[in-house]
Amino acid sequence: MARLPVAVLVSGSGTNLQALIDAAARPTFGAELVVVVSDRPGVAALDRARNAGIPVEVVAWEEHPDRAAFTVAVCDAAARHGAEALVLAGFMRILGPEAIARYPNRIVNVHPSLLPAFPGARAVAQSLAYGVKVSGATVHFVDEEVDHGPIISQEPVPVLPDDDEATLHRRIQAVEHRLLPEAVDALAAGRLTIQGRSVRWS
């Protein structure tokens, strides 16, 4: 069976990308990572991609006049490699509606909280500041609002009394590294159906 060609969007070290690379090495995995797109040059995620033989593209935010132009450039970079879906794996930019139009129900994001709690870029720090006893990881479809689309999967992570941002984030990432490849594989296999805000697995 043909694999779903996927572009992975990154901004940093690429640990979720590495989890996808490792998963894609299995012959039963349903997606092929056809390109890694970063909004920043020189990040470790690009080295991970090159080491795995995956083409890379850099689409720098500051080289575009607005979010719409940046979004179109990201989508164009993905399309040049035949990507039919986008996976946001630690991608720290917000895509505009142009991406939703080009990849409807084909954009997946991973987020370090149990959404809808603590959306945005500082979820782990905000979770600790609020004093929650349980945090977690969420994989969801992307819509036109930030960290808002239909939820594909979630898993709780207990907050320990001596946790700081780094220790909690590491444990959340360990869960993300499992949930994200599972969700991408299910998307590729056509096993995810969106019904309103619910995502049904088959």
Within 6-66, where are the H helices?
Answer: 15-24, 44-51
Place of tokens 């869960």: 175
The answer to whether the CB of 96 falls within 8 A of the CB of 67 is yes
Q: Which of 64, 81, 111, 169 is catalytic?
A: 111
Paired tokens of 2? 């043909």
Question: Of 177, 143, 141, 142, whose CA–CA distance to 157 is shortest?
Answer: 177
Kindly state the tokens that stand for 138: 């969420």
Please say if 177 is a catalytic residue. Answer: no
Nearest to 149 by CA among 100, 182, 85: 100
DSSP string, 135-188: EEEEEEE--SSTT-SPEEEEEEEEPPTT--HHHHHHHHHHHHHHHHHHHHHHHH
In contact, 99 and 142? CB cutoff 8 Å: yes
Q: Would you please indicate which residues are annotated as catalytic (active-site) residues? A: 111
